[in-house]
Amino acid sequence: MTGTRGPLNAFLDLDEIPVPNAQSGPLAGLRLAIKDIYDVAGYRTGCGNPQKYQQASPASATAPSVQALLDSGARFVGKTQTDELAFSLMGLNAHFPSPVNPAAPDRVTGGSSSGSAAAVAGGLADIAIGSDTGGSIRAPASFCGLIGLRVTHGRISLEGAMPLAPSLDIFGWFARDMITYEKVGAVLLGDDRHHHELQHPLALDALDGLVLGPQEADQYRAMVRIVASVLGAPRTVAPLSHSTDDLYWCFRKLQGYEAWQNHGAWIAGSDRMLGPGVKERFEHGATVDASTAQFETERRVSFRRELADLLGEDGILVLPTVPGAAPLKAETFDNLQLYRERALRLLCLSGLSGFPQISLPLGHVDGAPFGLSLLGPENSDRQLMALAARILSAHQRSA
């Protein structure tokens, strides 16, 4: 692996190997980029780490979910950069030049699906595959002005993908428009098993209060008004019994524990030259024991039940995707960490519950994108996409 290619550092500079695709189908003519945690036949899967790449053998088969898109006519245009071992949220990999955020070049793209977001936002791909464990579809979508859905956990196969924390990992994708986004969803998701119309928007003060400051709060209120023009104003509901801090640490401990179970032996086997932040997150995971993981799993089950009751059959939680626009690349490491921790307090609800959440590019702060999210009941993924299409249409009409 020699680095990246192209003007946005989105794609890895790899020898080109033909990847067959169908010449017709619902995705015919659309360019497809693949995050480098997914197997593509003939390519090594590097997972954002040069040693992983060197030790890998070329994949003998393409990940089935990726293959489904190729079989539907999508054309492979390259493997995209990922944050190291998919364990970051900013799109900064110590081993590669950072992908450029075309919507805000002085700001980060977000990670770990950093190259995929840059490729779509920059018009180098129509569809780009990513993944989301802690927010790696939703945060880059918000940062780069894209659509990004975290699907119901387990609904799309992750066979042929590098696991990070399997109880949290999901398959995801980016697109610039809802027509393309829904085409991919139709191929990968099939019919929803949730059959009640989503029509009651809800809000939680604890989440709305996580935006960074007055400017972000004003912009978020403006985005909520767009949603209200379609669904009516969200009803503020009583606080959850679990605080945002408790849920954040529940997520962090479970993610760290599972990540160490999957990668700890390899990391401990040699100096893997892990980048800053990634190294410390794995070290934290090594300290989480099985009894702690069991305790947090019980908290997670309780939270999931409470959120399901809150949403009922037709509720949608409206929330900021992240606290504001993407952080500036020039920010200090400590400030990036503070943003990450604040963002995860918003992002962890979908991950812990397994319920779907879609981020919509409805706002801007200081000229940079800022997304709003809708979180729905289990298996309401395509309904969320249809609702998102109505909201984006209303936004375009009012612009």
Q: What is the mean pLDDT of residues 214-230?
A: 98
Beta pairing partners, 132: 170
| Residue of 35, 52, 79, 253 marked active site | 35
Is 359 designated active site?
no
User: Given this model, what pLDDT does residue 3 score?
Assistant: 81
User: Contact at 8 Å (CB) between 303 and 242?
Assistant: yes
CB atoms within 10 A of CB 197: 12
Q: What is the mean pLDDT of residues 67-91?
A: 98
Number of Cα atoms under 13 Å in the Cβ half of residue 157: 14
Q: Which fold has domain 4-189?
A: Amidase signature (AS) enzymes (3.90.1300)
pLDDT band at residue 115 using 50, 70 and 90 as cut-offs: very high
Which tokens hold the place of 257? Answer: 């524990």
Is 136 designated active site?
yes
What percent of the chain has pLDDT above 90? 96
Which tokens hold the place of 312? Answer: 């009922």
User: Given this model, what pLDDT does residue 397 score?
Assistant: 84
Give CA torsion, residues 24, 82, 140, 246, to 10 deg.
130
pLDDT in tens, 162-185: 999 999 999 999 999 999 999 999
- The CATH superfamily assigned to 200-398 is Amidase signature (AS) domain (3.90.1300.10)
User: Given this model, what pLDDT does residue 34 score?
Assistant: 98
Is 112 designated active site?
yes
The pTM score is 0.97
In a 3-state reduction of DSSP, which class is residue 247?
helix
User: Given this model, what pLDDT does residue 1 score?
Assistant: 54
pLDDT band at residue 241 using 50, 70 and 90 as cut-offs: very high
Give me the helices (H) in 57-161, please: 64-71, 114-121, 138-144
| Residue of 65, 98, 112, 167 marked active site | 112
Q: What radius of gyration, in Å, describes the C-alpha atoms of the chain?
A: 19
pLDDT band at residue 398 using 50, 70 and 90 as cut-offs: confident
User: Given this model, what pLDDT does residue 263 score?
Assistant: 98
Q: What is the mean pLDDT of residues 255-278?
A: 97
Q: Are strands 368-375 and 315-320 parallel, antiparallel or unpaired?
A: antiparallel
- Is the pLDDT assigned to residue 340 strictly greater than 60? yes
| Residue of 72, 131, 136, 142 marked active site | 136
Beta pairing partners, 174: 128, 148
Mean pLDDT over all residues of the chain?
A: 97
- Is the pLDDT assigned to residue 2 strictly greater than 60? no
Range(s) for CATH 3.90.1300.10 in the chain?
A: 4-189, 200-398
The amino acid at residue 386 is A
